[in-house]
Every structure is written in structure tokens, then in C-alpha cells.
Amino acid sequence: MQQKQKELLQALYVEHWGVLRIAAYKYGLSQAEADDAVQDTFCSFMEMYLDSADEWNDCQIKAALMKILHNRCMDYFRSENRYPRISIQEFMQGHEYCPASEFFSADIAGTLADREDMARLREGVLSMSRGMQAVVVLYMLEERPIEEVCRILKVSESTCRMRILRIRRYLSKWMEDAEQANT
């Protein structure tokens, strides 16, 4: 690292360290976690922006540091599962399906059929194992990337993909069986 860049990084650290640490506390990190997040923030800033940082004004630098810190805190909470969770039963029972087409369509029969299909899907999901329900919630409802689902569930990517395939097959068969039972 060049001497000028080293001095700039030291100056930035001295000037912004306290504010970033307080912000990390406000996000809910402990003292040790906040120190790690601030350190990661400066390391990321150094990797991404240090070459051009001497051309930035103080507000731009502070904004970039705060954005990096925010992302570090969010990554921490995702990896530690520290944000509030609800069970699949609470989610599925507490949310009524209400398609946007219901407000624009005059076809009441079609709307009722959509609601019946959602009720069948809900029953199908609730009949699955807890591991499969977790994949439904994380991947299909929360729309998380497969890599993140794998990390949260502590399974390999091929295992997660296989579970998704099995879930799709299971729900497809569940819907066919429910349709045949109604006719």
C-alpha cells in the first residue's frame, strides 16, 4: 500500500470509527460484533474505493462507509438467524390469499377457484415434513437465493435443489389428487 493511501485510511479510521461503531450498536450488534463489523467496513472500503477516495468529499466517504456497514450488519443478521421468525403454520393460517385479479375481474367463479387452489396448496405444504416446509418458506415464500437457503439450513446445494424438485412434484401430485377428489 502506498504511503498516501495508508495515511488516508488512518485518517478515515480515526475520523469515522466512533460514528460507525455507534451505528453498529444501533443495528443491534454487541460490542465485539460491532467492532468486527466496523473493521470489515474499513477493509471493504479499502478494497473497493481507496484508490479514488482522495477525490471524494467527506459526505460521500461517510455515506459509502455507512452503506457498507449497513450491508455488513444485514449479512450478520442473516447468517446468525437473529431476525424474527414465524412458523409455517402461523404464516399460512394468518395470511389469506387475495389475488390482485380479484379487484379487477368480474369472474367470481374464477376468483373462488383460485382461493380453493390456494387452500389446497396450504394443506399440501402443512402436510410436508418440517425440513420441506423450511425450504418452502425460505425459497418459495421469502424468495431467498439457493445459496442462502443452503447456508441457513446447513445443507449442500444439491440437497437443497433436490428438496425443491421434490416439493414441486409433491405439490403437483397433491393438487392433482385434490382435483380428482372434487370431481
What's the CA gap between 168 and 173, in Å, rounded?
A: 9
Any residues with CB less than 8 A from the CB of 181 and at least 6 apart, and which?
A: none
Is residue 152 within 8 A of residue 139, CB to CB? The reply is no
Average pLDDT, the chain: 78
User: Does the pLDDT value for residue 99 go beyond 50?
Assistant: no
User: Does the pLDDT value for residue 87 go beyond 80?
Assistant: no
Q: Which fold, 88-182?
A: Arc Repressor Mutant, subunit A (1.10.10)
Q: What is the pLDDT of residues 66-83, one digit of tens each?
A: 999 988 888 877 776 554
Domain parsing of the chain, residue ranges = 3-80, 88-182
Q: What is the pLDDT of residues 43-61, one digit of tens each?
A: 888 888 877 777 888 888 8
Lowest mean pLDDT: which of 68-82, 99-113, 122-136? 99-113
